[in-house]
Chain A
Amino acid sequence: MTQPEVSKDEIFKRLRDVLVGGFELRDEQLVPTARLVEDLELDSLDLVDFAVRLEQHVDLEIAEEELKSIKTVQDIVDLLYQKLNARS
């Protein structure tokens, strides 16, 4: 039995929980085009921590290369959408 497809909206909500709860970011900062480093001010240490939290939150493993390719919030949503639905 296959799991129902997870929508991008649902992924965005989960992502927002991680970023607001874990990094004290405000809701209005979290737009799809927001850049992680320049706009959300996540530094290299934050990005590592973010990957760990995200993995725990969505029960997925994110490779270092995948993490490096992520620039915006939308990039993460797309990556998680692809990985979560490939698993189902």
Chain B
Amino acid sequence: MTVTSQVAAPPVAPGAASRRVPSRRRLAHGWRALRTGVAFASFGVGAIVVAAITAVSARGVPARRELRTQRIVHHAFRLWLWWMVCLRLCRVSWIDGERLAGSGPRLVVANHPTLIDVILLLARLSQADCIVKTAARRNPFMRRIVARAGYLANDDGDALVESCADRIAQGRSVLLFPEGTRSPRGGLHRFQRGAAHIALKSGCPIVPVVITCRPPTLLKGQSWHDVPDGRPQWVLRVGAPIDPARYLDAGSTLPVAARRLTADLQALYEQGLGADEEHS
């Protein structure tokens, strides 16, 4: 068949083959952008449905209501990721993901290369208090869910550390991105010291998660329809827990311990991203 079609094909003008490839590529690109649009639209619809479900289930004492809402968000994000995989828009791999299994408070800290990192993490963690930007707390789709889940506002550094330590003291896990915003392409912003302060104050171990995405997509400032040619692969590597107590040796002040812990965390992520670069 293939041979026949080649024989029957009309003479090809010079350069036509090279023109055909980009047009096929453009078509594939448009098809991928369309599927991405469908995924984002379904996220918006899903948010309305989840807001309705959490409105009905938002009864009882605040702590139980928050945990119930977080569990609903967890399942909704799992469903949405499954839909993303069905649409062939992403592949997700976890390395040492079992380190996030089980209960007990933990401080999960991750770099933030793409828009959906928080979704990947909350789809894995059935309970996590995360820190939400003002924009998300004002977003008409998200604000009610954010409020019902008891997610924390990132307004005041000192008060935020107190709130996070308080949640950990209640046996809850906290998720945060120490860069405070999405990472620059292929790298990291300088880490803020909030994660270290929370760990030192609460005594809770930090569980580091190094996230990579290849080819890069949904970066800061990149529009949703600016899709890559291939299907992006997210890899989330969970590191061994870091005990903050070892930074509080005799003679070390809290600010010094926070600086050292933050510097070590930053180095760990730089190393993790560097290793990923070498393997790719």
Chain A minimum-CB-distance residue to B201: A45
Q: Is the beta-carbon distance between A22 and B253 smaller than 8 angstroms?
A: yes
Interface residues on A, range: 10 to 19
Q: In the complex, what distance in Å separates the CA atom of A50 from the CA atom of B256?
A: 12
Contact B253 A45 (CB under 8 A): no
Chain A CB within 8 A of B132 CB = no
- Contact check, B259 vs A45: say whether CB atoms are below 8 A apart: no
A28 to chain B, nearest CB (A): 17
Assess whether B255 is interfacial by the CB under 8 Å rule.
yes
Query: Which residues from chain B contact A43 at a C-beta distance below 8 Å?
Result: 157, 192-193
Cβ-based interface call for B106 (8 A): no
Assess the B258–A45 pair: CB atoms within 8 A: yes
- Contacting residues of chain B (178-214) with chain A, CB-CB under 8 angstroms: 192-194, 197
Distance in angstroms between the alpha carbons of A49 and B161 in the assembled complex: 13
What string of 1s and 0s marks CB contacts (under 8 Å) between A26-60 and chain B? Answer: 00000000000000000111101110000000000
Is B158 close to A, CB under 8 A?
yes
Contacts of B33 in A (CB 8 A): none
Name which residue of chain B comes closest to A46, CB basis.
B255
Tell me, yes or no, whether A9 is within 8 Å of chain B by CB: no
Q: Chain B 153-195, CB within 8 Å of chain A: the 1/0 string?
A: 0001110010000000000000000000000000000001110
- Are the CB atoms of A23 and B256 closer together than 8 Å? yes
Write the chain B residue with the least CB distance to A48.
Answer: B158
Q: Which residues of B contact A (CB under 8 A)?
A: 156-158, 161, 192-194, 197, 253-256, 258-260
Q: List 12 A-B contacts (CB under 8 A).
A: A21-B253, A22-B256, A23-B253, A23-B255, A23-B259, A24-B260, A43-B157, A43-B193, A44-B156, A45-B193, A45-B197, A48-B158
